[in-house]
Structure 1
């Protein structure tokens, strides 16, 4: 009778995962270092949004040249300082020498719209939005388009991925090592299966990372709306949503590997060396997106490599260089890789968790 009662009270696999995940979440929320790191990250995002809003409001008017025959097209567009010229050549010359930011000229005969906008490297947003019809756009130097804006976007995607990965990943590994050192893991394994123990750690920390990313996204959206940066919000909204999706899958991949390497050592002192290969999977995409954000070939490669796709593909979507089907293929590759990483991490975790003493080698951890 007692055996039957104990069997009934034994938690199922799902219940075990939930219990471990709740324990991980509760432990993290009680950690001052985690709360401080999250607060700093949110403040950096808020500061960046506010700084962008201040800089955008400092721009009073946009100098624009317009051919006299189409000057009526700009009569109701606010925020423009107009210079009326007689010919298209005169207008283009003013753009080339930097006197104006753009020129509005009559379109070629038979064109679908009456006017064409000519700009050096980027068309002023106030001008493009103010025209009643979307005009044809000619860039005289398209190679330098939005360099600063693309750099800031690359830095934002990179730093969020880097900060979250370097916050939660080592925490997972350190938690596993601490449980091995204190022999708590033996008590836990008597109550829940080993696979449930790892799954709970990965899911609990992934939920926290997801909540952190959602908080950052919401803060950025609200901040951009309040500070009057609706145009940037429109451009950033879709890439930001894709970034959240890519980040969730990418973090599960990393979390499984961090849990595995944590199980391979018995002392905190040995963790740094063992954790280095996984840490590089976070650092390399961060530095690559910063230094190669204006390299189309490098960005394309990064957007399909699973470990860099969470920053590479959203960046390409922001720049408008990715076709609609590309993020779907990239996400599918990331999901398959994450599933393989979870299987590999689970095998290493199961084979290494009860081994104490010297560090378990990768071959021993995989072979068992």
Structure 2
């Protein structure tokens, strides 16, 4: 045979070739197609039914072998997963390959136990607020302030119980009269009061309502009836003391809360506002400075966004202000109930309710301002800002009391956020405010508080993430020659060196916390100071060595 007609037996059989496809297949050849197929060998005595059963068993075994493939080398069974089968569970995965991921349902709101999840803004703010609340609430100042507020409320209840009747304020009083005519001038000199004589009772009452007169004296023209004194909503004490005998008072507008009780309530509200703002504001300011000085702020900023940290500080201390409020109002209502002033308590509820709402919003405003005051790099700037906020808090608490009798001015003060916590309840106690006015005052205070917090948070973030130089100032290094310029100033070198050392020590003492705020800038500033003093000392030594011969 020719070599061309020869065919290598190792070549695979081409099924598309008719000649090769029709060629017989050797069962012993492992490369032959179908060699791995299971063969069913039938004996001569095998019946046709048994042959079909054997064929079905062979097909089932083939399907099982298709599902389970055995590695000929390692003998490791590999199972295939059909689309209808269940997915793998944790029990099917080896322990070493399982992911240690906590169940989201059992994860606490802080997120600390999960190293696979970052803190959200809400969780970060909650962490900071909880830290501020716990640290401040454990201080002795918090307990002392709470005790003082409780005792002050008890004392106010006792004072209010002793002076429950409504009284007006003293001062230059004006009395409106009807039909005195020429006798009005003589009565004015005799009583020592300003008298306005009118023609009718309606005009006299109108003068009282407008505030032009403190009271109106109504006399029966026949002389048979009793004289009557008409006032707006409080007893005119000065006029009653000069009119003899004492006569009954008729009120044109009966106040919901008597004037004496109202003044006691207002004083308590002012003291509560001032105590809460000063104690909690001082705590926020001190904590912010301590964290900045001890480098804790950088640690917090590494895991918590600065704005979330700022909100946590302000929110946490506002919650403590709510504790002050609950203690004070709770003791007040309990004391009024025990003293049988239930009607007074019910009449004061609108004013106390609006005070509570505006009080919390204004405390949020003040905490934002204290946070802003703690951010500047310079100590003098921080002290000025802190002092201005304290002055603003004191003025906002006590200025409304000065204008208690000026309804127009008091109305304006009730819509200013800093004076609204005291001015608005005063108007509700006197029955001079509508229900929507308290809502409007609270809305204005909330808008101002959010604006103040935005500014404070921006300043806090800017100060935390950026620092330049000693105390926030850019450091400029100056080089001095050691030659002719040092010789010219050799006479005063010793004194200037000592003065520079003293100034450096004073700066280090005054601005120790400022130096901690920006490490790179402060290091450069100290290096410049040391280089300057070293150069001057060297110059002084050279001048001294020249003078010895």
TM-score, structure 2 as length reference: 0.49
Q: Would you say the 8 A contact 1:154–1:315 is kept in 2?
A: yes
2:360 counterpart of 1:224: no
- Computed over aligned residues only, the root mean square deviation of the Cα atoms, in angstroms, reads 3.3
- Cα deviation for residue 89 of structure 1 reads 2.5
Match of 1:330 among 426, 433, 441: 441
CA distance 1:311–1:54, change in 2 (3 Å): closer
Moved more, 317-326 or 240-249: 317-326
Equivalent residue pairs, number: 296
Q: Would you say the 8 A contact 1:240–1:314 is kept in 2?
A: yes
Matched residues in 2 for 1:18 and 1:324: separation?
A: 34
Matched residues in 1 for 2:244 and 2:347: separation?
A: 26
What's 1:294 paired with? 405
SS in 2 for 1:341: helix
Q: Would you say the 8 A contact 1:157–1:315 is kept in 2?
A: no
2:116 counterpart of 1:8: yes
Matched residues in 1 for 2:123 and 2:259: separation?
A: 50
CA distance 1:99–1:230, change in 2 (3 Å): farther
CA distance 1:311–1:55, change in 2 (3 Å): closer
- Cα deviation for residue 275 of structure 1 reads 1.2
Query: What 5-or-longer segments of structure 2 have no aligned partner?
Result: 1-98, 101-112, 166-221, 230-238, 474-549
- Cα deviation for residue 98 of structure 1 reads 5.5
Matched residues in 2 for 1:246 and 1:46: separation?
A: 23
Q: How do 1:329-348 and structure 2 match up within 5 A?
A: 329-348=440-459
- Cα deviations across residues 156-178 of structure 1 (Å, max 9, x unaligned)? 22111111111111211111111
Match of 1:155 among 250, 254, 267: 267
Q: Would you say the 8 A contact 1:158–1:290 is kept in 2?
A: no
Match of 2:290 among 178, 185, 189: 178
- Cα deviation for residue 290 of structure 1 reads 2.7
CA distance 1:164–1:34, change in 2 (3 Å): same
2:156 counterpart of 1:20: no
2:187 counterpart of 1:187: no
Asked which structure has the greater RCO (Cα within 8 Å, sep 6+), the reply is 1
Query: What 5-or-longer segments of structure 1 have no aligned partner?
Result: 58-85, 103-118, 124-136, 361-368
| Higher helix proportion (structure 1 or 2) | 1
2:142 counterpart of 1:48: no
Q: Would you say the 8 A contact 1:169–1:254 is kept in 2?
A: yes
- Which one has the largest radius of gyration? 2
Q: Would you say the 8 A contact 2:163–2:260 is kept in 1?
A: no
Matched residues in 2 for 1:154 and 1:294: separation?
A: 14
Q: Would you say the 8 A contact 1:180–1:266 is kept in 2?
A: no
CA distance 1:231–1:88, change in 2 (3 Å): farther
Match of 1:235 among 325, 347, 366: 347
What's 1:358 paired with? 471
Matched residues in 2 for 1:263 and 1:92: separation?
A: 63
What's 1:92 paired with? 228
Q: Would you say the 8 A contact 1:173–1:263 is kept in 2?
A: no
2:430 counterpart of 1:319: yes
SS in 2 for 1:320: coil
Q: Would you say the 8 A contact 1:154–1:289 is kept in 2?
A: no
- Cα deviation for residue 288 of structure 1 reads 0.3
Matched residues in 2 for 1:281 and 1:188: separation?
A: 31
